[in-house]
Chain A
Amino acid sequence: MAESSVPTQQPAKQVLYCGICSLPPEYCEFGGTTKKCEEWLLSNHPDIHRQLYSQEVLEANMAALSVEAQKRAEKDASKKAAKASALEQRQAAERAESQVLIKRVERSKRKYVTVVSGLEAFGLELKKVAKDFGKKFATGSSVTKVPGGGEEITVQGDLSDDVFDFITETYPVVPEDNIDCIEDKKKKAG
């Protein structure tokens, strides 16, 4: 607590932040992922865990509030936790389902562009990914709007296999099975 006396020159304080919810651990109880935070703290900083989650502390916390306020706080907390876990599940399900498509599209006779779509479902920022593609392959790479709504990345050149490798290597959030390569032949050769 800051109640300690304050000399003129006090070194900067190092504050620990929770690895799960990024708040200082003492505020984890308000974050909605309390359970996970507690486990994280227990495995990473057992001494602080003992300080924060001991029986006496919990009781003292509870005693500070009136019974009614306690109930409301509890209800609120459980609601928040439920919301957080629901969101997580939904995201996980979405991720498992969504596909990343790598398409080779013919520009003119022997020129191709590679179109990558579906990356946004994995929480990646298209603009940054596009920049990375451009840097990696030394080609033009941009985010283009799709007529039906949504956006995709267009990389100049026939790079489908390289893009596939690059994505699996640099973005581990995208499972390899969810990436599909499609060769798009607009006109029949002839």
Chain B
Amino acid sequence: MKPAAFEYHAPTTLAEAVGLLARLEDEGCDAKILAGGQSLMPMLAMRVARPDALVDLGRVPGLAGIRLHDGHIAIGAMASKRAAELSELVRDKQPLFHAATRLVGHQQIRNRGSVGGSFAHADPASEYPAVALVLDMEMVATGPDGERVIPAAEFFVTYMTTALEPGEILTELRMPVLPARAGWAIREVSRRSGDLALAGVALTLRLDAGRCTDVRIAAFGVGATAIRLTAAEDALNGAAPSADRFARAGAIAAASLAEPMSCIHATADYRRHLVRTLLERSLADAAARAG
């Protein structure tokens, strides 16, 4: 299990990195961006990924900050998950993102693995794409033509595929702070603690005069990418929170899923049922937090 040979580039500015990617593309060279490497390295070792060149962003300064900006939290794509986990800003202002981060792998992985890397990798079983949909996050990509902002709903295209163009680098992730009196929850079922989820649910909601509002729900691990559960949202918006209502929302969510994926650990039906159960339980969590 040793990687095939590749050329290695370690640009020291963002402009250099962007230029390098453009040049490599012109040369017909299959280049891949190396961020933390925690997902890429196993693929290299198994030779299921065999790029001609790696462009390591590890030497590019300015991509790892975590800051409050215009009422949003902006996380540099190269910030480690551990940095996000330890950030008081993230923990206090966006606890859903914080909780999701703690569910990713183990500490050794979170120390090295970048936040942006997981977004660009777009594994449908990972927590971040679902959280991105729930929080309506924005991804900032930098390419030869400068920056562009991609909303989460457009960013995740399908299985391990994003809207990033070849030559574009994901540089920043923006998310709103959690509004006052908002509730949030994230739950997943995985075989072992720290494993990728068989299925999971992330959501936010608010309680306004005893009614659920602004309900946003996404499921992960059940489709080619994270899925907004709009039918369940519709069933909850304007409704009084109750165990019955949450159970019904779970059932609606499960029914609304197209055929979930099937693997050795979970059949499609099982995954569908997990979404139902996890949503029901998550809604109770979120309602309690919002209360």
Partners in one complex: no
Chain B interface (Cβ < 8 Å from any Cβ of A): none
Chain A interface (Cβ < 8 Å from any Cβ of B): none
